[in-house]
A = this chain, B = another copy of it.
Amino acid sequence: MKLYNENNPAPNPRRVRIFLAEKGISIPFVHIPMRQGAHKSPEFMLKNSLGQVPVLELDDGSTLSESIAICRYLEELHPAPALFGEDAWQRARVEMWTRRIEFGLMSRIGAVWINTHKYTAHLGTQYKDFGEASRDRAVKAMHWLNGELQDREFLALERYSMADIVALTTLDFGAFIGIDMPAELEHLGAWHARVSARPSAVA
């Protein structure tokens, strides 16, 4: 088994790296230099027809893309600690929160990235007005998240889960492209400090 990975600040490969660190699993990485377009090479497109990393490849050559699908697969092979939850309700809660972060926050931060950032300008037309509106919406989602976190330590469960990994990688990517968490969001800030203090966060 090996993982095609890129060690840039992109949130999706980092989700898998943090997940592996939390599990204490080690998988050989194959570096895909995205700045050189290696993820769009004909060879790599055979592994993922969308040309995206990460991709997990099994020893028989089967491939799996989408960071959450990869982590979910690895969770079944290495059940402890359970990062997707320990029973049906917990697993549903982790799923709900993972999706809330992806659709409510990541999609907006991604829209800022694609439509306003200098690093993505060469990829195609940027819709600047839409991108700037997405920035405001991302910050609005952070305010919502701050309210949700006012009475608990982690997003989905009483302990750390995949949903926290998704939120951490999303917010850190937002900061990388200049969308900072407003300092007055104390519950979100405390949560961010808590999950960033875990050894896995350096992954």
Which chain A residues have a beta carbon within 8 Å of chain B's beta carbons?
49-50, 62, 64-66, 68-70, 72-73, 76-77, 88-89, 91-93, 95-96, 99-100, 104, 107, 115, 125, 127, 129-130, 133, 144, 147-148
- Kindly list chain B residues whose C-beta atoms are within 8 Å of the C-beta of A95: 66, 68-69, 72
Task: Return the contact of A88 from the options B76, B91, B100, B130 (Cβ within 8 A).
Answer: B76
Copies in the complex: 2
Task: Return the contact of A100 from the options B50, B125, B129 (Cβ within 8 A).
Answer: B50
Provide 9 A-B residue pairs closer than 8 Å at the C-beta atoms, listed in order of the A residue: A50-B100, A64-B96, A69-B92, A69-B95, A69-B96, A72-B92, A73-B88, A73-B92, A127-B133
- Inter-chain CA distance A92–B75, complex, in Å, is 10
- Kindly list chain B residues whose C-beta atoms are within 8 Å of the C-beta of A104: 50
- Inter-chain CA distance A144–B144, complex, in Å, is 36
Q: Are A49 and B88 interface neighbours, CB within 8 A?
A: no
Q: Are B92 and A70 interface neighbours, CB within 8 A?
A: yes
- Kindly list chain B residues whose C-beta atoms are within 8 Å of the C-beta of A76: 88, 91-92
- Kindly list chain B residues whose C-beta atoms are within 8 Å of the C-beta of A69: 92-93, 95-96, 99
Interface centre among A62, A99, A147 (most CB of B within 10 A): A99
- Inter-chain CA distance A148–B66, complex, in Å, is 16
Smallest Cβ-Cβ distance to A58: which chain B residue: B89
- Inter-chain CA distance A77–B92, complex, in Å, is 12
Smallest Cβ-Cβ distance to A87: which chain B residue: B76
Q: Are B66 and A96 interface neighbours, CB within 8 A?
A: yes
Smallest Cβ-Cβ distance to A73: which chain B residue: B92
- Inter-chain CA distance A165–B50, complex, in Å, is 21
- Kindly list chain B residues whose C-beta atoms are within 8 Å of the C-beta of A147: 49
- Kindly list chain B residues whose C-beta atoms are within 8 Å of the C-beta of A91: 72-73, 76
Smallest Cβ-Cβ distance to A147: which chain B residue: B49
What would 10 more interface pairs be, CB under 8 Å, given A50-B144, A64-B96, A66-B99? A65-B100, A66-B100, A68-B99, A69-B95, A69-B99, A70-B92, A72-B91, A76-B88, A127-B129, A127-B133
